[in-house]
């Protein structure tokens, strides 16, 4: 009897272990991100640049919602954030922030122009931020959160930066999306040099720079500096992202452009 019980226990443990194996679930043709909608609800979402839409998937990979994004002519999506509900208002619709860009040719050169909005799943515009390129959510007090959007006007040299600060009514949702923020790189777009500000708590980690297609282009150990000066004179024009990896985790990625 005791032997039979031991055999049954071993059999059940084997089944349990087999069910927890590392295995590929699915592949996607776009960069996929996890978003948190409530204390217990998570979704995947991706940005489809070609179709100008955000697709949201359940955790079993079934399509849940598709949010079309109406863009001006010749604009392309650059980033989508804060795909959730009850962050910007209290209705039941999903919401998101996005930024898009286009290239304006001037003579033999040109500049990037940005457009940024907050919309809901039905296309209703909740906010419009001209030239908005980067957005972050940060805690500013007990149960207080703000959204900061940095807007770049590159139509003249050396350009101008404007900061928009929005109060956030959905504090319960905001706590899931607030992150430690790196300061903006400068000058952006870059020519020969780009200065990459580093947060103090992560300045002893590793700096990683990626191409827009996700290839690791550059990596270096950091030694406590506040700003990393990266020579870009030999880099191809385009958009790049960088992040700081340390024992405390991975910072939010920031973008810069080389013209």
Q: pLDDT tens across 42-71, in order?
A: 999 999 999 999 999 999 999 999 999 999
Domain range for residue 66?
A: 24-179
Query: Do residues 206 and 169 share a domain?
Result: no
Contacts of residue 150, defined as CB under 8 A and 6 or more positions apart, other chains included, come to 132, 133, 134, 135, 161, 162, 163, 164, 184
Q: How many domains does the chain have?
A: 2
In terms of DSSP H, where are the helices of 20-94?
A: none
Q: Is a pLDDT exceeding 50 seen at residue 202?
A: no
Residue whose C-alpha is closest to residue 126's, from 86, 89, 92: 89
Q: Give pLDDT tens digits for 104-113.
A: 999 988 888 9
The CATH code of the domain that includes 206 is 2.60.40
Looking at the fold, whether 41 and 160 belong to one and the same domain comes out as yes
**What is the percent of the chain with per-residue pLDDT over 70, rounded to a whole number?**
86
Nearest to 79 by CA among 17, 140, 149: 149
pLDDT at position 179 is 59
Q: In this structure, is residue 12 part of a structural domain? A: no
Nearest to 237 by CA among 211, 214, 209: 211
Would you say residue 78 lies in a domain?
yes
Do 171 and 194 have their domain in common? no
Do residues 36 and 112 share a domain? Answer: yes
Instruction: Specify whether 172 is located in the same domain as 193.
Output: no
- Domain closes at, from 128, 145, 179: 179
Residue 42 belongs to domain with CATH number: 2.40.128
Percent of the chain that is helix, strand, coil (3-state, to 5): 10, 50, 40
* Residues 145, 105 share a domain: yes
Q: How confident is the model at residue 175 (pLDDT cuts 50, 70, 90)?
A: confident
Judge whether 19 lies within some domain.
no
């Amino acid at each position: 009897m005791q032997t039979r019980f031991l055999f049954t226990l071993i059999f059940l443990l084997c089944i349990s272990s087999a069910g927890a194996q590392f295995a590929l679930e699915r592949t996607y043709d776009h960069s996929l991100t996890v978003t948190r909608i409530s204390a217990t609800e998570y979704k995947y979402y991706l940005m489809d640049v070609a179709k100008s839409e955000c697709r949201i998937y359940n955790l079993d990979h079934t399509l849940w919602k598709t949010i079309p994004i109406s863009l001006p002519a010749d604009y392309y999506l650059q980033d989508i954030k804060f795909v959730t509900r009850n962050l910007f208002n209290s209705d039941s619709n999903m919401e998101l922030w996005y930024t898009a860009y286009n290239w304006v040719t001037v003579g033999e050169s040109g500049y990037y122009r940005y457009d940024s909005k907050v919309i809901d799943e039905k296309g209703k515009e909740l906010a419009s931020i001209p030239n908005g390129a980067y957005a972050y959510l940060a805690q500013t007090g007990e149960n207080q959160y703000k959204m900061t959007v940095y807007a770049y006007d590159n139509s003249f040299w050396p350009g101008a930066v404007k900061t928009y600060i929005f109060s956030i009514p959905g504090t319960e949702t905001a706590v899931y999306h607030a992150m430690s923020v790196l300061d903006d790189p400068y000058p952006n777009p870059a020519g020969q040099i780009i200065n990459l500000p580093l947060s103090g708590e992560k300045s002893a980690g590793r700096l990683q720079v990626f191409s827009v297609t996700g290839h690791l282009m550059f990596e270096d150990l950091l030694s406590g500096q506040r700003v990393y000066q990266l020579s870009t004179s030999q880099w191809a024009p385009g958009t790049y992202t960088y992040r700081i990896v340390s024992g405390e985790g991975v910072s939010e990625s920031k973008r810069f452009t080389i013209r």
